[in-house]
């Protein structure tokens, strides 16, 4: 897929990956082997019928392909951009044994973008059921759960604490990876399904989860409250000014438009020499945002090597192309400031790899006497998060030993009727895993509420002759309760 030139894109917020055009999309479709037992479908956390939608694309039925795709995923334009396809559908594609695997993510993105551009909508009738479901948070887990429940006929209300919906898609993932216009379009799709979104609502404090089930009269609740509190390392100097979490940097930039200060009121105060600690996807985002906001040098400090780097290969590769300087096997031990309490220097220590630890990765061990300093006027921590404490503080929900919400295999929590999924259950993960959890919780809520046909509603079509079943259009079947008696 064509990408923007690294030198140019490192200074703008336009999308890095430019996407397919129609001709290239069609060419790419031809590479699919149409495996009878497609590994890609198994490899997808939401089990998209990949050969099914590609077949429709080959037949140039693009809207049909999109309809088929969106039976399983609410957010094709988002997931096509941010899913780690190389570990999922594309990672198991047999074409990839010898050649490049079929670019499933890019095809998904192309279809999602076509839908937005052409205003494709699913207009099928949704038969209402007499249930109200409240959803905490408006990120990918909540959006996926809300969509499935709205399609099942429930009245769904989403509560978002920030002033704009979308969760991590809004405040976290930067514009050059996922444009806000795409997020807006996907949220509009959700609202078209009848989902109500209330921003400025902090569940736990404005009302509790128990109150939602009680006086607020919700029949079930889904919690997709998402990311936790950022972790720091507890080394000297962390409270100096100019030291911040990647969450703060990204929230200021993406949600609050601090890059456009002073025409927006939120300042960022980014320096010229930025050091980011950590090498996951969030670290990559923080580094590449810093570059685009005018940092002259951006350094990545990571205690293991490139091999253990947890970011997607594509993101790491893009960051390297854009001129980020990587310091592998390096860890900060102290941050030093000036008289005004601003960070000026980061003191690091070299590491070497020792025996494998419980994660199977070789444990980094400090090299004695290897300390060295380098200059940095902004230091960003991207080393993960701890669970957000608000719902634990304000409800009787049982938490696990790490402080995340405890659920069983169906994503049911310790409170009857309350389900949870996404980062608030698993800790920081990916958009698609959160969406998968949202859909799984929606299925559990449907069976908890006794809504029928939950299993057939989203099953990929394996029956079909001329796209109908008992004379009923499949697209319609996917939205309504077919009485199969």
Partner 1 sequence: MSEEDRVPGASAAAVSTPGGKADRGGGFPVVDRQDFSETTFLLEVSHPQMARAARPGQFVIVMLDNHGERIPLTIADFDREGGTITLVVQAVGKSSREMQARMVPGARLFGLVGPMGIPSEISDARKVICVGGGLGVAPIYPQARAFKEAGAYVIGVVGFRSRELIFWEQKFRDVCDEFVICTDDGSAGIKGLVTQGIEQAIAAHGDIDEVVAIGPPIMMRACAETTRPHGIKTMVSLNPIMVDGTGMCGGCRVRVGGRIRFACVDGPDFDGHEVDFDDLMARLARYRPQEREALDRYDDSCRRLAMAPAGAPSEKA
Give 162 or 298: the residue with its C-beta nearer to partner 1: 162
- Cβ 308 to partner 1 shortest distance, Å: 25
Give 188 or 463: the residue with its C-beta nearer to partner 1: 188
**What is the C-alpha to C-alpha distance for residues 348 and 302, in angstroms, rounded to an integer?**
10
- Applying CB under 8 A, does 228 fall inside the site for partner 1? yes
Specify whether the CB–CB gap between 299 and 324 falls below 8 A.
Answer: yes
Residue from 4, 24, 124, 180 binding partner 1 (CB under 8 A): 180
Where does this chain touch partner 1 (CB under 8 A) — which range of 26-34, 68-76, 225-233, 452-460?
Answer: 225-233
- Applying CB under 8 A, does 269 fall inside the site for partner 1? yes
Give 164 or 298: the residue with its C-beta nearer to partner 1: 164
- Cβ 247 to partner 1 shortest distance, Å: 5
What is the total count of residues that contact partner 1 (CB under 8 A)?
56
- Residues in contact with partner 1, shown as a per-residue x/- string from 154 to 173 under the rule CB under 8 A: -------xxxxxx---xx--
- Cβ 249 to partner 1 shortest distance, Å: 9
Residue from 27, 33, 34, 188 binding partner 1 (CB under 8 A): 188
- Residues in contact with partner 1, shown as a per-residue x/- string from 49 to 68 under the rule CB under 8 A: --------------------
Binders of partner 1 in range 92-121 (CB under 8 A): none
- Applying CB under 8 A, does 184 fall inside the site for partner 1? yes
Residue from 35, 202, 333, 428 binding partner 1 (CB under 8 A): 202
- Applying CB under 8 A, does 215 fall inside the site for partner 1? no
- Residues in contact with partner 1, shown as a per-residue x/- string from 369 to 408 under the rule CB under 8 A: ------------x------xxx--x---------------
Residue from 255, 399, 429, 469 binding partner 1 (CB under 8 A): 255
Binding site for partner 1 (CB under 8 A): 161-166, 170-171, 180, 184, 187-188, 191, 197-202, 205-207, 227-230, 232, 234, 238-239, 241-242, 244-245, 247-248, 251-252, 255-257, 261-267, 269, 340-341, 381, 388-390, 393
């Amino acid at each position: 897929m064509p990408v923007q030139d690294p030198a140019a894109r490192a200074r703008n917020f336009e999308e890095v990956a430019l996407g397919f055009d129609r001709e290239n999309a069609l060419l790419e479709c031809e590479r699919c082997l149409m495996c009878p037992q497609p590994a890609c479908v198994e490899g997808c956390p939401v089990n998209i019928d990949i050969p099914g939608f590609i077949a429709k694309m080959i037949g140039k039925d693009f809207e049909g392909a999109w309809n088929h795709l969106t039976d399983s995923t609410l957010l094709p334009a988002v997931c096509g951009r941010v899913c780690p396809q190389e570990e999922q559908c594309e990672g198991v594609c047999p074409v990839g044994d010898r050649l490049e695997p079929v670019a499933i993510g890019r095809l998904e993105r192309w279809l999602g973008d076509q839908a937005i551009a052409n205003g494709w909508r699913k207009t099928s009738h949704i038969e209402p059921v007499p249930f109200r479901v409240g959803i905490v948070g408006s990120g990918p887990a909540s959006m996926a759960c809300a969509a499935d429940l709205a399609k099942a006929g429930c009245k769904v209300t989403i509560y978002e604490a920030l002033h704009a919906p979308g969760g991590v898609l809004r405040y976290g993932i930067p514009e050059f990876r996922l444009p806000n216009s795409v997020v807006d379009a996907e949220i509009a799709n959700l609202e078209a399904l009848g989902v109500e979104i209330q921003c400025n609502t902090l569940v736990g404090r404005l009302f509790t989860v128990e109150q939602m089930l009680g006086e607020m009269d919700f029949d079930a609740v889904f919690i997709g409250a998402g990311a936790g509190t950022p972790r720091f390392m507890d080394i000297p100097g962390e409270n100096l000014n100019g030291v911040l979490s990647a969450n703060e940097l990204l929230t200021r930039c993406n949600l609050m438009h601090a890059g456009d200060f002073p025409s927006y009121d939120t300042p960022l105060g980014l320096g010229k020499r930025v050091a980011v600690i950590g090498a996951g996807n969030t670290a990559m985002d923080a580094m590449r945002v810093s570059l685009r906001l005018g940092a002259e040098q951006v350094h990545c400090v990571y205690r293991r090597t490139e091999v253990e780097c947890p970011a997607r290969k594509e993101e790491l590769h893009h960051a390297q192309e854009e001129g980020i300087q990587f310091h592998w096997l390096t860890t900060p031990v102290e941050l030093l400031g000036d008289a005004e309490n601003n960070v000026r220097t980061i003191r690091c220590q070299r590491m070497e790899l020792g025996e494998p630890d419980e994660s199977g990765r070789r444990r980094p061990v400090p090299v004695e006497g290897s300390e060295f300093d380098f200059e940095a006027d902004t230091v960003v921590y991207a080393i993960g998060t701890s669970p957000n404490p608000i719902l634990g503080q304000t409800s009787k929900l049982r938490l696990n030993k790490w402080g995340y919400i405890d659920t069983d295999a169906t994503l049911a929590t310790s409170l009857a009727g309350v389900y949870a999924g996404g980062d608030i259950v698993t800790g920081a993960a990916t958009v698609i895993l959160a969406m998968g959890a949202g859909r799984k919780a929606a299925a559990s809520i449907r069976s908890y509420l006794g809504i029928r046909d939950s299993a057939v509603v989203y099953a990929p079509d394996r029956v079909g002759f001329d796209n109908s079943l008992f004379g009923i259009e499949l697209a319609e079947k996917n939205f309504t309760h077919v009485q199969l008696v």
